[in-house]
Structure 1
Amino acid sequence: MQLIIAGKAHPADRAGQDLIRQWIDFIRHPVARRHVIFLSDYDMSLTEHLVQGSDVWVNTPRRPWEASGTSGMKVLVNGGINLSELDGWWAEAYTPEVGWAIGDGQEHGDDPAWDANEAEQLYNVLENEVVPEFYDRNEQGIPTKWLARMRASMSRLTPQYSAARTVREYTEQHYLPAAIAFHNRSTLGGTVGTNIVHWERALREKWSSLAFGELRISSNSDGHHFEIDVYLDGLDPNSVRVELYADGVNGESPVRQEMNRFDASKSSEPDWATYQVTVTAMRPVADFTPRIVPKHESVNVPLELDLIRWQR
């Protein structure tokens, strides 16, 4: 088994430079010298050779520092198999049939104990899964299980993780919607665009004066009922969205439940409105907080306007 290490540290990345020095010191040991080599000046030209000649592509970033993982994607079409941290593209692509993984898909910061845990995982996977599978040959000397994994990796992942998919999804999800939005705003002499400017100006002028009044909560076995008074200071209620928010748990997305406005506020003041919503009792009441965000059917919030008002 041969381990080929390549990498480059930014001139200001002292920790990365120290790590490379540790690699080189380790490789100089007589036991390691026959099996490990470090290739300096890592760049795209060197990568071109590495992705064509590697049986297994090992990538071990600390979550969440893997920017994407395009080097592992390049290995696919060359028949290499990935063994990587569950981060970047591999967190999406990995299944046991197409390669190997280490980590638990969670973030652990700079915890040395977790680094040691993942190092042990890596050694165990290499020793007990990767190497035995590579050398498990039939009568003709062919590693059938290895080839099956290689074919699964190439056939399932290569079409999905490619520049073609990148261009297609950017076009469908971003470029075309942006072009349509621009067209819609510029038609009729730019009427829609003018309305958006007036909407944003009104929000910015009034935003600091928006306030929450009394929050009333009642609960039963079916759910939690939230009701709150909101001071809008003369702002059009249709220009904002009052919602109940809770952070996501167990890897799930945050809860963003829109609250419904009463036709007539319980408050006697004209600039007040009352909002209500009922949510399931699966989460405790303390998890939820009302908040106000901008609302406009032609504006991407919060990308284009990131105002937000929390109930305190």
Structure 2
Amino acid sequence: KKIVEISKSEDFIGKIFFVENYDITLAKYLVQGVDVWLNNPTRPLEASGTSGEKAILNGVLNLSVLDGWWAEGYVKGAGWALKEERTYDNQEFQDALDAITIYNLLEDEIVPAFYDQDKKGVPDLWVDMIKKNIAEIVPNFTMRRMIEDYNNKFYKPQIKRTKELESNGFKIAKEIVKWKSKVLEKWDSITILGAEYPDSNVRPLVLGEKITVKLKLDLDGLAPEDIGVEILFGRKRPDDTEELLYVFSLKLEEVDGSIALYKREIPATMSGVYDFTFRVYPKNKLLPHRMDFPKVKWI
């Protein structure tokens, strides 16, 4: 509503158009009649941006934030991109920066490439970009690619997995059920006996220094190999940890009865102040992936 009102002001009359009842029929006309598809969503709120996908199939060059489909599709020399990372937390500041970036791209790269023509009136650079767009981006956004992905990533692995579970009278399936039952019975009994990690609030980490982290658990009947332990590094902000930076797996260091010590030495790849947290999860080589048994204990 606010944008509609602004579009009626003197500065914007004739410059903003709203297309009602937008559908594939209208899209056909749009993607055939445009040279640059500009899309500048607010990061990271772009659901996909499928109109831009339709545009590339018609040789249209995209200028967009690296969000939605363009984060996957962008190829240098076959369109233009605004970086995915935000520079400012303040949205007004970020919008102003994006606007300046877009204008600079238009003035310094896009417009010159479009109007720089040879003696026959052909913009060679522009045509080269269209060819690169069709050759290197388009094949990744076709129905064939989608079907191949479903087949190779889901259907074939699931067929293989089903055969494995059914073989030898469902031997593997029975082992998994037995193991999951044991873990579920003992999961809430896992006790944290101690955790060691650097307090970067006292002293910021220095680039290259070795950090030793440890976690001691009482597994109460579970085997040490039934458990995976990780430490997560986050970027420190005034009130919260907003960005996950690194995840490292800890290795089993020693076992004393039901007590297991996990340890890892990690080189600091960035200086500064971090937040740390451990997570413990069930681990078994028979599981196809971790989310097959979505239990986790945060420390």
Q: Deviations over 1:266-306 (max 9, x none)?
A: xxxx3222222322244689654433111122224432222
Q: Secondary structure at the match of 2:192?
A: strand
Q: CA deviation at 1:30?
A: 8.2
Equivalent residue number for residue 306 of structure 1: 294
Match of 2:98 among 106, 115, 118: 118
**Identical-pair percentage:** 31
CA contact (8 A) 1:64 1:107 kept: no
Match of 1:225 among 212, 237, 249: 212
Query: Do the aligned partners of residues 111 and 281 (structure 1) sit closer, same or farther apart at CA in structure 2, a change above 3 Å counting?
Result: closer
Equivalent residue number for residue 79 of structure 1: 59
Aligned residues: 286
Q: CA deviation at 1:83?
A: 0.9
Aligned counterparts of 1:61 and 1:185: Cα–Cα separation in 2: 45
Find out whether 1:169 has 2:157 as its counterpart. Answer: no
Equivalent residue number for residue 275 of structure 1: 262
Equivalent residue number for residue 297 of structure 1: 285
Equivalent residue number for residue 6 of structure 1: none
Equivalent residue number for residue 49 of structure 1: 29
Query: Do the aligned partners of residues 205 and 52 (structure 1) sit closer, same or farther apart at CA in structure 2, a change above 3 Å counting?
Result: same
Query: Do the aligned partners of residues 22 and 204 (structure 1) sit closer, same or farther apart at CA in structure 2, a change above 3 Å counting?
Result: farther
Q: Deviations over 1:94-135 (max 9, x none)?
A: 244111223453386671221122123223323443233222
Q: CA deviation at 1:23?
A: 6.1
Aligned counterparts of 2:123 and 2:97: Cα–Cα separation in 1: 30
Match of 2:246 among 251, 254, 265: 254
Q: CA deviation at 1:248?
A: 7.9
Task: Give the AA of the match of 1:243.
Answer: E
CA contact (8 A) 1:244 1:255 kept: yes
Equivalent residue number for residue 201 of structure 2: none
Aligned counterparts of 1:111 and 1:193: Cα–Cα separation in 2: 51
Equivalent residue number for residue 61 of structure 1: 41
Query: Do the aligned partners of residues 285 and 200 (structure 1) sit closer, same or farther apart at CA in structure 2, a change above 3 Å counting?
Result: farther
Equivalent residue number for residue 8 of structure 2: 25
CA contact (8 A) 1:243 1:259 kept: no
Long gaps (5+) in structure 2: 199-204, 237-242
Match of 1:88 among 68, 84, 87: 68
Aligned counterparts of 2:112 and 2:31: Cα–Cα separation in 1: 22
Query: Do the aligned partners of residues 64 and 30 (structure 1) sit closer, same or farther apart at CA in structure 2, a change above 3 Å counting?
Result: closer
Long gaps (5+) in structure 1: 1-17
Task: Give the AA of the match of 2:175.
Answer: N
CA contact (8 A) 1:239 1:296 kept: yes
CA contact (8 A) 2:280 2:298 kept: yes
Query: Do the aligned partners of residues 252 and 285 (structure 1) sit closer, same or farther apart at CA in structure 2, a change above 3 Å counting?
Result: closer
Greater relative contact order (Cα < 8 A, sep 6+) = 2
Aligned counterparts of 1:216 and 1:65: Cα–Cα separation in 2: 38
Q: Deviations over 1:228-250 (max 9, x none)?
A: 3211111232222123333489x
Q: Deviations over 1:205-230 (max 9, x none)?
A: 21111111123569997723334321
**TM (normalized to structure 2)?**
0.81
Segments ≥4 residues shifted beyond 6 Å: 217-222
Q: Secondary structure at the match of 1:167?
A: helix
CA contact (8 A) 1:76 1:154 kept: yes
Query: Do the aligned partners of residues 282 and 119 (structure 1) sit closer, same or farther apart at CA in structure 2, a change above 3 Å counting?
Result: closer
Query: Do the aligned partners of residues 282 and 128 (structure 1) sit closer, same or farther apart at CA in structure 2, a change above 3 Å counting?
Result: closer
Q: CA deviation at 1:42?
A: 1.2
CA contact (8 A) 1:230 1:272 kept: yes
Task: Give the AA of the match of 1:90.
Answer: W
Q: CA deviation at 1:68?
A: 2.4
Equivalent residue number for residue 14 of structure 1: none
Equivalent residue number for residue 4 of structure 1: none
Query: Do the aligned partners of residues 253 and 47 (structure 1) sit closer, same or farther apart at CA in structure 2, a change above 3 Å counting?
Result: farther
Query: Do the aligned partners of residues 290 and 153 (structure 1) sit closer, same or farther apart at CA in structure 2, a change above 3 Å counting?
Result: same
CA contact (8 A) 2:71 2:84 kept: no
**Structure 1, 234-243 or 53-62: larger mean CA deviation:** 234-243
Aligned counterparts of 1:107 and 1:171: Cα–Cα separation in 2: 39
The 5 Å alignment of 1:142-157 reads 142-157=122-137
CA contact (8 A) 1:213 1:230 kept: yes
